[in-house]
Structure 1
Amino acid sequence: MEQLRDAAAEGRIDLDELDSRLEQALTSKTHAELAVLTHDLPRPHSSASQVPLVLKGGMFGASRGPGRWEVPGHVIAHGGVGGVKLDFTRVECRLTEVAVEAYGETSGVTIVIPDAWAADTSGMDPGAGGLKDETTSDRLPGTPLIRLTGSGGAGGVVIRHPNRRERRKLHSNPT
């Protein structure tokens, strides 16, 4: 509701549209119903979304997720010798787009995104290890687009939706 009021104050929607959307917001029962009401409005940016998250695989690897974490607008992942895994499946992201720089280096980078999200991999250099894009383009309104750039290096970069094991884990522990 705060986003809608801000949009009206900025002149992005008129007062009739504000009243209509506020009424729909008050009767919404799911997050998806709420997302439709603000999908055409710019997302607010927190100060944390301005600072890039940098993950370096080093010797032992690095990961972020599958728990809840705040998604910044820019993520940089260096696979190193141990590899990096980025798991977005449990995050609540208010951004419309997240820039992810992935450098596969020796062991590679794996990125897991929810089914409702989509990825643009046109900025990736596959390198020797390649790029494996196993995502679908079925993006729901109000969900982020992962804009992937970087290089596959020797280890490669994989971006995908959750696999069967991850889906079972998500289903058995929905929080």
Structure 2
Amino acid sequence: MTDVPEDLPQLIDEDERDAAVRRLQEAYAAGRIPHDEMDARLDKVLTAKTQGDLVSAVASLPAEKQGSTSTIGAASGRIKRHGAWQVPQTLKVESAYARVHLDLSQAVIEYPVVDIELQLGTGRAKITVPRDATVDLDGLHTEWKDMRYKAPRRARPGDGPTIRIFGAMGYGRLTVRHARR
């Protein structure tokens, strides 16, 4: 049996590396660091192997914005959001019998990825996403009717937010469409 030192450097994963890259990009975009400093720090982040390497590359930068989570619920009736409303990073929509209409076309979306969790019994759900958004429906389970979604023909990947819709729907249909303007 060999002794393993307890203070081994902790290796980083890709999520930690991605978070550090985002922090550097945000700091540069906000004018907190010049271009040459961002390049040098970015090189450190991309070649970092341990937590210590990563921490030194993002030292003195403001902490990453924490995402917000909101829950909208109704037993029956309608759940509706439209206009210039603030979209949280994670939105949970829960209802037994309500109709749901979420219009994100004019909403304020601050996050590159928005998660919408649907937990619906019966009733229809309609989600309108921004024209340049990417939609991911892989995590949604429907019991009765299939969902309706047709990706735009002229999609420009990477331009808009990614909207991930997941959860479960009982006896209703989900329709997702892109805004026309």
CA apart distance, 1:92: 2.8
Equivalent-residue separation in structure 1 for 2:163 and 2:77 (angstroms):
26
AA at the equivalent of 2:169: G
Flag the 1:3–1:77 CA change in 2: closer, same or farther, 3 A.
Answer: farther
Question: 1:108 and 1:120 mapped to 2: Cα distance?
Answer: 19
- Aligned equivalent of 2:161, options 144, 161, 171: 144
Given that 1:106 and 1:153 are in contact with CA atoms closer than 8 Å, whether structure 2 keeps it comes out as: yes
Change (3 A) 1:76 1:128: same
How much does 1:109 deviate? Answer: 1.7
Q: Which of these residues, 139, 153, 176, is aligned with residue 123 of structure 1? A: 139
Q: Following the alignment from structure 1 to structure 2, what is the Cα–Cα distance between the partners of residues 94 and 70?
A: 8
Structure whose alpha-carbon radius of gyration is higher: 2
1:93 and 2:109 matched: yes
Q: What percent of counterpart residues are identical? A: 19
Partner of 2:78: 61
Q: Deviation string for 1:62-118 (max 9, x for gaps)?
A: 1111x1111111011224322111110102312110011123321032111021111
Q: Aligned letter for 1:86?
A: L
- Structure 2 unmatched ranges of 5 or more: 1-25, 42-63
| Counterpart code for 1:114 | P
Cα distance in 2, alignment partners of residues 96 and 139 from structure 1: 15
Instruction: Report how many aligned residue pairs link the two structures.
Output: 131
Structure 1 pair 135/78, CA: closer, same or farther in 2 (3 Å)?
farther
User: Displacement, 1:8?
Assistant: 4.9
For the pair 1:105 / 2:121, whether they are aligned, the reply is: yes
SS at match of 1:75: strand
1:128–1:153 CA contact under 8 A, matched in 2: yes
1:42-57 to 2 correspondences below 5 Å: 45=65, 49-50=67-68, 52-57=69-74
**Judging changes above 3 Å, is the alpha-carbon distance between structure 1 residues 115 and 142 closer, same or farther for their aligned structure 2 residues?**
closer
Deviations 1:50-72 (A, max 9, x none): 2x22222422111111x111111
TM-score, normalised relative to structure 2: 0.61
Name the structure where strand makes up a greater proportion of residues: 2
TM (norm. structure 1) is: 0.62
* Ranges in structure 1 where 5+ consecutive residues have no aligned partner: 16-43, 171-175
